[in-house]
Amino acid sequence: MRIEANLGDITDQDVDAIVNAANSALAGGGGVDGAIHRAAGADQMHAACAKLGGCAIGDAKATPGFRLPAKWVIHTVGPRYRDGRHGEPEALASCYRRSVEVAEELEATSIAFPAISTGIYGYPREEAAHIAVKTLMDLQPKTLLLVRLVSFDDYGLSLYQNEMGG
């Protein structure tokens, strides 16, 4: 499995599955969530999410990608950051692990992640990038060949590059 980091918009990614930084109601929202719902087709995505019965923090559930280039959307719920001592690191790591597990169940060969929890949920970006890369590097998936970390800006990309060793 190869891990790469790119600059871009998560909704444009031509991979089997993209990951959504969702909320536990899977009700749609701002940031990545809003962009994915709009690009997939808000009505269809909303209806598909409504059937899933919500999602716990650190867990992940899939829907089709509808109008997106990606075949699937894996909705994961990141922790809201408080002070890092309320289980946030474990919950964030779990988002990456569970999303990869769900991708494997779907027999996806490629997956793209946004920087979960680093927007509205306030996770410090440096720590979040560290957890993302470390957690993914520890996994040994079977079907998944490519994991792409997608950053919306240069700073986020540089964080991933540092964590991946330059």
Helix axes 88-105, 125-137, angle to 10 degrees: 40
| Of residues 33 and 163, the one with the C-beta less far from ligand ADP | 33
| Of residues 96 and 121, the one with the C-beta less far from ligand ADP | 121
| Of residues 56 and 107, the one with the C-beta less far from ligand ADP | 56
**Burial class of residue 96 in the structure, from the number of CB atoms within 10 Å of its CB (0-12 exposed, 13-18 middle, 19+ buried):** buried
Q: From the CB of 67, what's the least distance to ligand ADP, in Å? A: 15
- DSSP labels, 67-127: TSSSSEEEEEEPPPPSSS-SSHHHHHHHHHHHHHHHHHHTT-SEEEE--TTSSTT---HHH
Q: From the CB of 136, what's the least distance to ligand ADP, in Å? A: 16
Strand 60-64 with 72-77, pairing: antiparallel
Q: Which of 16, 33, 138, 154 is catalytic?
A: 33
Distance CA 80, CA 120 (A): 8
Residues in a beta bridge with 141: none
Distance CA 30, CA 153 (A): 17
| Of residues 11 and 110, the one with the C-beta less far from ligand ADP | 11
Q: From the CB of 142, what's the least distance to ligand ADP, in Å? A: 27
Q: From the CB of 140, what's the least distance to ligand ADP, in Å? A: 26
- Kindly list the residues in this chain that would bind ligand ADP in the complex (CB under 6 A): 9-11, 21, 31-33, 35, 78, 114-121, 150, 152
83 is catalytic: no
Residue that the structure tokens 């599955």 belong to: 17
- Active-site positions read 33
